[in-house]
Structure 1
Amino acid sequence: GIESVSPDDSSSPVIVLGDSHTLIFHEGGDMLMTRAGAVDHLQEKIGFKVFLAASRGSSSQALRQIYKGPEFWKGKKVLVWLSSVRELTQERRWLKLPRLPR
């Protein structure tokens, strides 16, 4: 397996975007434990680290972590969005970010 404590490889072709459900069993402390969350299992299966953009609360706020301009997106292949259904039914704070040029 791979060391999965800090999935923050900005050069990874895979981005995992999520709310606190993405951090449970991953972050430790009040998120209960480390190295056993969804992102850790994903990294173990694919064999490399991912870039994790997660927020305690709303994943709509985690969008700030992945809006880094066009250079960041070069080589990105997959965006995995993990969150609770409340993101689609109750969130009122979606950020308006400028569209990246093609």
Structure 2
Amino acid sequence: MIKNSKVSSNINQWNIEYDQNGFVSDEKWLVTAEKTEDILQLSHIYHEGPILDVGFYTENYKIYVIYDNDWDKPKEVFESKKTEFIENKLYELIDKYANA
């Protein structure tokens, strides 16, 4: 059950592959996350769809949009020191890529 009111119904288009801090159940999931490269990873329900990956690298949080497992050439990268910017961008990307 989704308890994070910021998550749209488009989350149903995604599989949660890795979730360090209860993304769908806690609106403060990123604030409480340990600052590691592995915070959250969502993969699209369609095999050829994207991966959304959230991690912390050196001084910034980053979101990578990955197609075809090509981590060397992400389709998009967004980074910020501010958790609220990362969270808002992630919610936007979940909707943007919902239909792959």
TM bucket, shorter chain: under 0.3
TM-score normalised by L of structure 1: 0.24
TM-score normalised by L of structure 2: 0.24
**Between structures 1 and 2, the one with greater strand share:** 2
Structure possessing the higher radius of gyration over alpha carbons: 1
**Between structures 1 and 2, the one with greater helix share:** 1
